Structure 1
Amino acid sequence: MAYLEFDHVSFVDGPIKVLHDISLTIDKGEFISIVGPSGSGKSTFLKLCSDLISHTEGTIMFDGKKIEDYEPCEYRGRVGYCFQEAYLFGETVEDNIKFPYIIKNKDIDMERVTKLFDLFHMSLEYLHKKNTALSGGEKQRICLIRSLLFEPEVLLVDEVTSALDQENTLLVESVLEHLHKQHGMTILMVTHNEEQSRRHVNRRITIESGHVAKWEEF
């Protein structure tokens, strides 16, 4: 059974049909890159996967159930999303780490926090840093850590390395590969980087003018 399935899904934004009649299936544990020209509908596709926006036509199923039938908190606990622009809450890194626990009314799991900081080559001293003192690469790593605190089954990443230098890009890629291979996490990654779109992934989707133009296997 497909883990994530789009059945004749379209999305209309005002007078514009952004996605047209998308039908595809994604299996559990896949690592898929999503490519295509700017404005082709890649980010919209990810937002539909995350239920941040609602599809206009068709059906989206996750783990055998329509996504609109999930409680929002349950669904977003299972499907994590990391945006292209690193947005941080509050004033400090610690504010960002505490926030997901606060909204779930849970105590901070410092063992989990420590493991994630280690994974991204960051010390816990970062917790006390001001958001404004962080570099772009550091902000993006904190956003990824925040998305992974409750270990989602699916991680959606939208151009998260586009503004990073080579060192930070390779670090983020290595973490994604680790999550996929060692934890079986399903990952969907939007990228404009041709080489990145082939590394580590098992399939690649090309979206053009709101249509799935091509599927490739690696």
Structure 2
Amino acid sequence: MPLLYFRNVSFANDGKDILRNVSFVADAGDFISIVGPSGSGKSTLLRLCGHLISPTTGNIFYKGVNMTGYSPTELRKNISYCSQTPYLFGNNVKDNLEFPFSIRNIPFNESRVKELFSLFNIPPVFLNSDVQNLSGGEKQRISLIRTLLFLPEVLLLDEVTSALDAENTRMAEDAISSLNKGGITVLWITHDPEQSQKYANKIITLEAGEIKSLEVLK
């Protein structure tokens, strides 16, 4: 049974077609790169995967059940989305990293946070940093760490390395690849041709809202 299954999915906004008749399967353990020109519908596709928006027509199934049959809160614990433009709230970094624990009614686990800080080369004192003073790359790493505090079954990543330098990009790629090898299904958007093929076993190419090709690499 596919983990995610898009069946004839279309999405329109303000009368404009963003995606048209999209069908594909993501199996457990897949690492799928989503590529294509700007405006081709890549981010919309990823948001549909996370049930952040609903199809105009067609159906999306998760573990064989239509996504509309799940509680959105429970679904998003299993399918995590990290956007290209990170949104941080509250006053400091800790406010953001406490949130995933609070919605699960679990005490804040500072050791888990420090474990991920180490993975992404962030010093522990960063926990109390003012979010208004963070660089774009720092915000992107904190957003990714927030997403990874509780490991999902499906990880949706929208150009999450776009604001990172080469060293931090490599660290993020290594972490994501390791999670995939551990069984997490990854769908990520990238504009980097080399990055798109580096870890993926499938590449979906979107053009003008339609799947131009679906390439199986391995």
> TM-score normalised to the size of structure 2?
0.95
Q: Please report how far the alpha carbon of residue 159 of structure 1 lies from its aligned counterpart in structure 2 after TM superposition.
A: 1.1
Question: Contact 2:120/2:168 (CA < 8 Å) preserved in 1?
Answer: no
Hey, what does 1:216 align to over in structure 2? 215
Hey, what does 2:127 align to over in structure 1? 127
Query: Does 2:210 align with 1:197?
Result: no
Hey, what does 2:32 align to over in structure 1? 32
Q: Deviations over 1:137-173 (max 9, x none)?
A: 2211110110111111111000111222222222211
Question: Is the deviation greater in 51-60 or in 107-116?
Answer: 107-116
Q: Please report how far the alpha carbon of residue 114 of structure 1 lies from its aligned counterpart in structure 2 after TM superposition.
A: 2.5
Output the amino acid matched with 2:36. G
Q: Percent identity?
A: 49
Structure 1 unmatched ranges of 5 or more? none
Q: Please report how far the alpha carbon of residue 35 of structure 1 lies from its aligned counterpart in structure 2 after TM superposition.
A: 0.3
Structure 2 unmatched ranges of 5 or more? none
For 2:69 and 2:124, the matched residues in 1 are separated by 38
For 1:187 and 1:164, the matched residues in 2 are separated by 19
Q: Please report how far the alpha carbon of residue 118 of structure 1 lies from its aligned counterpart in structure 2 after TM superposition.
A: 2.0
Output the amino acid matched with 1:36. G
Q: How many residues align?
A: 217
Q: Deviations over 1:49-80 (max 9, x none)?
A: 00110101111000121111111111000000
Question: Contact 2:202/2:215 (CA < 8 Å) preserved in 1?
Answer: yes
Output the amino acid matched with 2:183. G
For 1:180 and 1:100, the matched residues in 2 are separated by 21
For 1:126 and 1:64, the matched residues in 2 are separated by 42
Hey, what does 2:19 align to over in structure 1? 19
Q: Please report how far the alpha carbon of residue 7 of structure 1 lies from its aligned counterpart in structure 2 after TM superposition.
A: 0.6
Equivalent residue runs for 1:1-218 within 5 Å: 1-181=1-181, 183-218=182-217
Q: Please report how far the alpha carbon of residue 187 of structure 1 lies from its aligned counterpart in structure 2 after TM superposition.
A: 0.5
Output the amino acid matched with 2:202. R
Q: Please report how far the alpha carbon of residue 97 of structure 1 lies from its aligned counterpart in structure 2 after TM superposition.
A: 0.6
For 1:27 and 1:119, the matched residues in 2 are separated by 27
Question: Is the deviation greater in 186-195 or in 133-142?
Answer: 133-142
Q: Please report how far the alpha carbon of residue 204 of structure 1 lies from its aligned counterpart in structure 2 after TM superposition.
A: 0.5
Question: Is the deviation greater in 114-123 or in 35-44?
Answer: 114-123
Output the amino acid matched with 2:92. T
Question: Contact 2:140/2:163 (CA < 8 Å) preserved in 1?
Answer: no
Q: Please report how far the alpha carbon of residue 104 of structure 1 lies from its aligned counterpart in structure 2 after TM superposition.
A: 2.5
The 4+ residue runs of structure 1 with deviation greater than 6 A are none
Q: Deviations over 1:80-136 (max 9, x none)?
A: 010101221111111111112222322112332232222212232111111123222
